[in-house]
């Protein structure tokens, strides 16, 4: 067995890691590709599978991933027609949206649901991967009112750049428009459009 060829693809954006990996595996039995993002990881993995390699991945410190591609039992590399596929992360396509349609999380027990939504908001506010937009409608608008247990967390998200859209019809229905503590009074056009454009839509 020949030695492992190392391809350092950190700091490179797609399709570069895939191109380098492909070149390397065409000439070597075994290639270790180092990447620093999940998109590259997925794309290199997909390439390896297409090229008939065994693929082993390992997450390393500092957000790095090592992908070990091994040609199976000396099988020849498939001919040139393996294209360098480069799927970018869906995040690039549309916003990450969280929709709060209720002032609770889950159905079944309201008391528990109120506890869960508070824990959820606290966690979302604290995590690195924040949504681009949060939409509140129906009883969900109550989460964004003054005196709400979740208000501070939503304010924190708003301060971090998360767009907070609160359904105006709903505020009106509950007669609480004057109590809105955070966010923009929004309408169905913006809400429906944002939800339609979303690359990811999450409902607690």
Partner 1 sequence: MSGSPSYCVMLFKSVSYVLKAEKILKKENLPHKLIPVPKKISSDCGVCLRFEPNMREKIEAALFKKVEIEEICKLCEQ
Q: Which residues bind partner 1 (CB under 8 A)?
A: 111-112, 115, 118-119, 122-123, 149, 152, 156
Decide the pairing of beta strands 163-167 and 96-100. unpaired
* Contact (Cβ atoms closer than 8 angstroms) between residue 98 and residue 191: no
**Nearest-approach distance from CB 123 to partner 1, in angstroms:** 6
Q: Given the complex with partner 1, which of 70 and 150 has the nearer CB atom?
A: 150
Decide the pairing of beta strands 65-71 and 30-35. antiparallel
Identify the three-state secondary structure at position 156.
helix
**Nearest-approach distance from CB 137 to partner 1, in angstroms:** 24
Radius of gyration of the chain (CA): 23
* Residue (of 189, 203, 7, 171) closest to 99 by Cα position: 203
Structure tokens at 62: 């500092």
**Nearest-approach distance from CB 75 to partner 1, in angstroms:** 42
**Residue spans of beta strands (DSSP E) within 125-162:** 133-136
Q: Given the complex with partner 1, which of 125 and 167 has the nearer CB atom?
A: 125
Q: Given the complex with partner 1, which of 23 and 122 has the nearer CB atom?
A: 122
Phi, psi of 166 (to 5 degrees): -120, 130
Identify the three-state secondary structure at position 164.
strand
Q: Given the complex with partner 1, which of 26 and 156 has the nearer CB atom?
A: 156
Q: Given the complex with partner 1, which of 6 and 159 has the nearer CB atom?
A: 159
**Nearest-approach distance from CB 161 to partner 1, in angstroms:** 16
**Nearest-approach distance from CB 153 to partner 1, in angstroms:** 9
């Amino acid at each position: 067995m020949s030695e492992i060829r190392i391809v350092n693809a950190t700091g490179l954006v797609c399709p570069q890691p895939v191109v380098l990996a492909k070149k390397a595996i065409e000439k070597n039995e075994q290639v270790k590709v180092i990447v620093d993002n999940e998109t590259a990881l997925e794309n290199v993995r997909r390439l390896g599978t297409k090229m008939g390699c065994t693929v082993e991945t390992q997450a390393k410190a500092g957000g790095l991933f090592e992908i070990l591609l091994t040609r199976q039992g000396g099988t020849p590399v498939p001919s040139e027609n393996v294209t360098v596929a480069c799927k970018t992360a869906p995040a690039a396509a549309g916003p990450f949206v969280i929709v709060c349609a209720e002032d609770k999380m889950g159905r079944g027990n309201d008391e528990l649901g109120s506890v869960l939504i508070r824990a959820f908001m606290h966690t979302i506010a604290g995590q690195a991967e924040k949504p681009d937009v949060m939409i509140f409608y129906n009883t969900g608008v109550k989460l964004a009112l003054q005196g709400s247990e979740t208000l501070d967390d939503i304010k924190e998200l708003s301060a971090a750049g998360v767009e907070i859209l609160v359904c105006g019809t709903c505020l009106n229905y509950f007669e609480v428009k004057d109590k809105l503590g955070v966010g923009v009074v929004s309408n169905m056009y913006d809400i429906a459009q944002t939800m339609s454009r979303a690359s990811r839509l999450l409902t607690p």
